Amino acid sequence: MGWEEKRVRGYLEFAQTAQRYHGRPIFALFCGDKDAEGKSWCPDCVTAEPIVRKELHNMPDESVFIYCLVGDRAYWKDPNNEFRKNLKLTAVPTLLKYGTPQKLVEEECFKAELVRMLFTED
């Protein structure tokens, strides 16, 4: 069947989507919001996104890739935002395998090898 992508914005949408696909491998990339020209306020996210997208074909069949915009810079900087509280995210970009401790943060997302390892790890 291959894999499919879901684009969401904000924590509530993310949580609902993750729950809907419970039982399938779920990978999520969290990035800062994008402006009208499609550019994120988070420069590392801008760098990471194309690298991650190039490796998506390595995800196992039936995987769901959730591309999640977390919010604007002010929201993200708040130490009590829902992503920090509920998912224990510490930075953007974060690429993770939902439901496991496996994740890559910031510059780790720039390394195609590590991204591939996350997608193919047992």
Q: Per CB under 8 A, which region of 1-9, 25-33, 39-47, 101-109 contacts another protein?
A: 101-109
Report the site for another protein in 26-85 (rule: CB under 8 A).
none
One of 29, 104, 109, 119 touching another protein (CB under 8 A): 104
Bridge partners (DSSP) listed for residue 18: none
Q: Strand 103-105 and strand 64-69: pairing? A: unpaired
One of 13, 82, 106, 108 touching another protein (CB under 8 A): 108
- Distance in angstroms (rounded) separating the CA atoms of residues 40 and 68: 12
- Distance in angstroms (rounded) separating the CA atoms of residues 118 and 95: 9
Tally the C-alpha atoms within 13 A of residue 90's C-alpha that lie toward its C-beta. Answer: 4
Note whether 102 binds another protein by CB under 8 A: yes
Note whether 122 binds another protein by CB under 8 A: yes
In whole angstroms, how close is the CB of 102 to another protein at the nearest point? 5
Main-chain phi, psi angles of 89, to 5 degrees: -70, 140
One of 57, 113, 119, 120 touching another protein (CB under 8 A): 113
Note whether 121 binds another protein by CB under 8 A: yes
Note whether 111 binds another protein by CB under 8 A: yes
The residues, any chain, with a CB within 8 Å of residue 98's CB and separated by 6 or more, are: 18, 26, 27, 28, 66
Q: Which is nearer to another protein, 12 or 112 (CB)?
A: 112
